[in-house]
Amino acid sequence: MTTPHHPHHDAEQHVCTGVMCDVATPGHALSIIQQRVATATASKWRDAVVDSVSADGWVQLTTIDDRETVWVWNHRDLSSVLGAGEPVALHAVYHVLAIGGTWVNVASLAPAAATQLA
């Protein structure tokens, strides 16, 4: 049996380069377990539209059902695969952003902190 890793990573121990990332915390690598639990909980997906995408990984979304502004972050620049006005789906529990058939792990920003970015 293996010992679980601490949920926070040390930037000196883990380096994300290009498409390679071994960090499984929100905003980094999407694990197979995360894919499976997101698939198994279909009712937790929220449809949204992209408002903006920044080169430093931040994506601003507006949910379709309640017009909530949601900020998510991924360690990669997603601007080459995502643009303003595009439809996406955000899993409300397991930190997954679906961009068409591509899923990425995202960190969600708390609503209070998001108002400071807007």
Q: Where are the domains of the chain?
A: 43-117
Band of residue 110 on the pLDDT scale cut at 50, 70, 90: low
pLDDT of residue 84: 97
Q: How far apart are CA 21 and CA 61, in angstroms?
A: 24
pLDDT of residue 4: 32
Contact 95, 106 (CB under 8 A): yes
Average pLDDT over residues 61-67: 96
Average pLDDT over residues 80-109: 93
pLDDT at 67 over 90: yes
pTM of this structure: 0.74
Band of residue 17 on the pLDDT scale cut at 50, 70, 90: low
> How many helices and strands in the chain, by DSSP H and E?
2, 7
pLDDT of residue 111: 52
pLDDT at 88 over 50: yes
Give the right CATH number for 43-117 from 1.10.10, 1.10.3470, 3.40.50, 2.40.50: 2.40.50
